Amino acid sequence: MKIALLCNVRPADADEAFEEFDSPETIAAIARALAGLCLDVEPVEADRDLPAKLATGRYDFAFNIAEGVGRRCREAIPAAVCELMGLPFTGSDAVTLGITLDKWLARRVVSPDVPVAAAALDDDRIEELRFPVIVKPNDEGSSKGIHAGSLARDAAQARERSRSLREEYGCPVLVEEFLPGAEITVGVVGNGRGARVLGMMEIAGEAPFLYSLDVKRDFRRRVRYHVPPRMDTALLASYALNAYRLLGCRDIARLDFRQDAAGTPRFLECNPLPGLNPESSDLVILSRGILPYEQLVQGILREAAVRYGIPLP
């Protein structure tokens, strides 16, 4: 079986604009894990030539970790190309990938079934929020645009930060009430009624903790991971599974929550293309005590193969 590993390779010495793209080391690690199933794995850059590459490659399946190129719909495009060409692929479809990249839309889909923090889009009704607030690009991932200055203490700071982010990223800006409780990420795998929680992890640091891009890049020194989280996780698991299903996720996703002052977990966002770096990705860290890296990667393909009714060798 020939597998197209759909990816976008991060250039050497890349700036923040390429933060979502995967390193050559990550792509190589995924390829090795899939090769353990006796598969022929070939990395394929998901650029504008993707349709031609898939047409000439004669692939049987696509393992999708591609972030795509462009703006709001970029993550959805590689999946849409696969669907157009009739090529089975891992992970969520274009609809889910489009909705989850837009944080404002994702919040509207899961709420009120899953609680969210009070928020505003761009400058609309900022004064009605309780401060401090987090100001971040609405359709970016990997904490792009989130730095120490993203925590705004009043409306004036929030508006200035919003203006700066709109100029830099060319997208709407989400202004969200800062939740003072613990931050938790939840890995979910499977499909339909078979979806299940893989694991959970509390992400902690110096208060007021903000899981910013700078913190993520220095995670060994500035972050403490607690697996399992230091709290009752029953309600969190219920919320994560509900959000996973409401958003239409398939095979795997990582969902982020944060507790409010009363300890209630509130949905932040969903990543249906979770990072798979064998050392630094949150999903990999939270699952280390549960299953080896190779089984984590292979399990994504197995879930997709079952969904399509395609036997693996």
Instruction: Taking residues 88-92, report their average pLDDT.
Output: 98
Q: What is the pTM of this model?
A: 0.94
Query: Which of 116-120, 207-211, 263-267, 278-282 has the weakest average pLDDT?
Result: 207-211
Cβ atoms of residues 230 and 202 within 8 Å? yes
59 has a pLDDT exceeding 70: yes
Reported as a pLDDT band with limits 50, 70 and 90, residue 108 is very high
Residues for the chain: how many in total?
313
pLDDT at 81: 98
pLDDT at 14: 65
pLDDT at 48: 95
pLDDT at 2: 97
Q: Distance between CA 90 and CA 72 in Å, rounded?
A: 21
User: In this predicted model, which residue has the larger pLDDT, 283 or 17?
Assistant: 283
Going by DSSP bridges, is the β-strand pair 173-177/119-121 parallel, antiparallel, or unpaired? antiparallel
Cis peptide before 132 (omega within 30 of 0): yes
Residues 6+ apart with CB under 8 A from 112: none
User: In this predicted model, which residue has the larger pLDDT, 122 or 18?
Assistant: 122
- Residue 171 is given by DSSP the state S
> Would you state the structure tokens that stand for residue 200, as one six-digit string?
């959970």
86 has a pLDDT exceeding 70: yes
Q: What is the mean pLDDT of the chain?
A: 93
> Would you state the structure tokens that stand for residue 30, as one six-digit string?
């995924």
pLDDT digits (tens, 9 = 90+) for 240-265: 999 999 999 999 999 999 999 999 99
Instruction: Taking residues 100-115, report their average pLDDT.
Output: 97
Q: Distance between CA 266 and CA 256 in Å, rounded?
A: 9
Domains and CATH numbers, the chain: 2-90 (3.40.50.20), 100-115+180-272 (3.30.470.20), 119-177 (3.30.1490)
